[in-house]
Amino acid sequence: MPDSNFAERSEEQVSGATVIAQALKTQDVEYIFGIVGIPVTEIAIAAQQLGIKYIGMRNEQAACYAASAIGYLTGRPLLVIGGSPERNQETMGAFQEFPQVEACRLYTKFSARPSSIEAVPFVIEKAVRSSIYGRPGACYVDIPADFVNLQVNVNSIKYVECCMSPPISMAETSAVCTAASVIRSAKQPLLIIGKGAAYAHAEDSIQKLVEQYKLPFLPTPMGKGVVPDNHPYCVGAARSRALQFADVIVLFGARLNWILHFGLPPRYQPDVKFIQVDICAEELGNNVKPAVTLLGDINAVTKQLLEELDKTPWQYPPESKWWKTLREKMKSNEAASKELASKKSLPMNYYTVFYHVQEQLPRDCFVVSEGANTMDIGRTVLQNYLPRHRLDAGTFGTMGVGLGFAIAAAMVAKDRSPGQRIICVEGDSAFGFSGMEVETICRYNLPIILLVVNNNGIYQGFDSDTWKEMLKFQDAASVVPPMCLLPNSHYEQVMTAFGGKGYFVQTPEELQRSLRQSLADTTKPSLINIMIEPQATRKTQDFHWLTRSNM
């Protein structure tokens, strides 16, 4: 007698949306950020039904920023899923028809459109695997609109088990021996800890290397916290001096791009020896020929270095002339910053603001930052003590990332470290790029405190009296300088409009009080709008910004 249950199962249908969602779930995707619309709404609904968290954003860019930050924090890099016209409408001028797969190949590690619903699990597994193997990066999967609601036999779908974790590669033994010899012979060594070291979870091995051999180190912006910023061997306060006079520099997942001034004079010695530790072979030798290249997983390679250095007892002399030079420069730079921070004049300057903020920051908080002076000065004052707890505009200097990054960090914090706070420090111009994500923050009631450092402009602005005087002569479009924004804008009202707490502060006392209240209130997000001197700038720098301006 035929098995009626088997017959029912063999005829059971499943939608394309469910297949896509299940394929993502099988690859350990935990979060989806996006804006729904035809044809992807059903995918988001199916994903939620399977236990994937969907966070609806107000702008697709912010959604991608949030997803990329999740990738950095969780090790599951960005996978973009986009809807495209129905297959039978291709080349006919369909709604929003565009060669998406071809366009995305320029910017992704993998870009493809499944040939059928049955092929979806295989394509998604390959996309996830490609995104996390080797140098991590974004991948794109294109979904034709007719796939989403297409019904197929459930038995025709074969899900691919979750891809394995990325293989751990190690450097050549001979290269490790050479690197150890170069480090031992250095008279003025420096370690530079990059974002790649944070992503590789190399904090324990790098901290052991720093402490065991008494080596000075310098973090890149998102390398902050791999070894705590307050570590006695951190020379961040003497950055320019350390770079300029080091004779051996070891790069741990840090690249010689614009952030590190390309490794070239006058920011470096012409004969400086670079030891590059990186997972990406194509990065080795960029701009400067290295003395040694160590290709492999940064954590594994650091352990190899430790083993090699351990063979012959050695440490860099903590009372050397090099250490003395660095400590003296750190002391003078810190004194200059503290002098600026101690100024009592109003409006406040950047240093006053950041020193008061630093006093109250929880040790385990995430610090997200974007802006020009806001990000650059804040990076030197606001401390990070834990790895992967600083998110900022990074290599591309992209404005608009802040709120998306903060939302991603908040989702991770809520799920993995309840009670942890996210402090998102924004310039007023940078806040404008994605300010409507405040509604997203309030909708999901995320543990975020936004600090908008408001100088009424881009780089610099004007006070309200000067603004009024300008408008007496001509209309704003004719006389207002391009970098100026409306003076004394009440950005805190964006937060209160959606149910969060908002504060408008003009004095150190108001800043201290509002931040204390925001940290104490764990029931809703806050925005503190901090008015500073419109013409406030950085302390005097040893070198000009890499792109000159006549402003």
Task: Tell me what pLDDT residue 38 has.
Answer: 81
> Measured between alpha carbons, how far is 362 from 377 in angstroms, rounded to an integer?
19
pLDDT along the chain (551 residues), means of 10: 58 95 98 90 96 97 97 94 92 92 96 97 98 96 95 97 96 98 98 98 98 98 97 97 98 96 97 98 96 98 98 94 98 95 94 97 97 94 98 91 98 95 97 97 98 96 94 92 96 98 98 98 97 85 61 58
pLDDT at 547: 56
CATH code, domain with 244: 3.40.50.1220
Same domain, 353 and 475: yes
pLDDT at 11 (0 to 100) = 79
Q: Do 314 and 430 sit in the same domain of this protein?
A: no
Q: Are residues 365 and 480 in the same domain?
A: yes
CA-to-CA distance for 254 and 238, rounded, in angstroms? 18
Comparing CA positions, the residue from 262, 263, 269, 260 lying closest to residue 239 is 260
**283/402 same-domain check:** no
Question: Could you tell me if 204 and 152 lie in one domain?
Answer: no
**Are the C-beta atoms of residues 465 and 488 closer than 8 Å to each other?**
no
267, part of any domain: yes
Range of the structural domain that residue 21 is part of = 13-156
Q: Collapse the DSSP code of 323 into the 3-class scheme (helix H, G, I; strand E, B; otherwise coil) and give the result.
A: helix
Q: How far is CA 20 from CA 86, 102, 114, 469, in A?
A: 16, 21, 11, 59
Do residues 314 and 360 share a domain?
no
The answer for residues whose C-beta is within 8 angstroms of residue 501's C-beta and 6 or more apart is: 495, 517, 518, 521, 524, 525, 526, 527
Q: What are the residue ranges of helices labelled H in 12-119?
A: 16-26, 41-49, 60-74, 100-104
Same domain (yes/no): 233, 361: no
Amino acid 4: pLDDT:
54
DSSP label of 267: S
Q: Do the Cβ atoms of 251 and 218 come closer than 8 Å?
A: no
Element (H, E) at 256: none
Given a contact cutoff of 8 angstroms between Cβ atoms, the answer to whether 273 and 246 are in contact is no
pTM of the model: 0.95
**Residue ending a domain, choose from 326, 357, 386:** 326
* Distance of alpha carbon 24 from alpha carbon 531, whole angstroms: 45
- Do the domain assignments include residue 397? yes
Q: Which distant-in-sequence residues (6+ apart) come within 8 Å of 440 by Cβ? A: 55, 56, 57, 58, 62, 403, 407
* Nearest of 90, 80, 95 to residue 39 by alpha carbon: 95
Q: What pLDDT is attached to residue 33?
A: 97
Phi, psi at residue 543, to the nearest 5°? -130, 150
- The three-class DSSP label of residue 51 is coil
Q: Is 440 domain-assigned?
A: yes
Tell me how far apart the alpha carbons of residues 374 and 379 are, in angstroms, rounded to a whole number: 8
Query: Residue 248 and residue 307: Cα distance in Å, rounded?
Result: 20
112 in the same domain as 188? no
| Domain termination residue (choose one: 326, 357, 381) | 326
320 and 347 share one domain: no
- Per DSSP bridges, beta strands 366-370 and 390-392 are parallel
DSSP 117: G
Strands 526-531 and 501-505: parallel
Residues 282 and 420 occupy one common structural domain: no
What is the number of structural domains in the chain?
3
So what's the pLDDT on residue 84? 92
**258 domain-assigned:** yes
Two tokens, residue 390: 């600083």
- Do β-strands 457-458 and 460-461 pair in parallel, antiparallel, or remain unpaired? antiparallel
Give the pLDDT confidence score for residue 19 in this predicted structure: 98
Residue 116: give its domain's CATH number.
3.40.50.970
pLDDT for 541: 67
Residues 204 and 262 grouped into a single domain: yes
Is position 334 within any domain?
Answer: no
User: How far is the CA of 277 from the CAs of 233, 258, 283, 289, 314, in angstroms?
Assistant: 20, 18, 10, 13, 21
123 close to 114: Cβ distance less than 8 angstroms: yes
Q: How far is CA 483 from CA 398, 430, 457, 460, 486, in A?
A: 17, 12, 6, 7, 10
Instruction: Tell me whether residue 165 is in a domain.
Output: no
Is position 543 within any domain?
Answer: no
Give the DSSP H/E element, type plus range, for residue 444. Answer: none
Co-location of 305 and 368 in the same domain: no
Whether residue 482 lies inside any domain: the answer is yes
Checking phi first, is residue 83 left (phi over 0); if not, alpha (psi -120 to 50) or beta?
beta
pLDDT of 70 reads 97
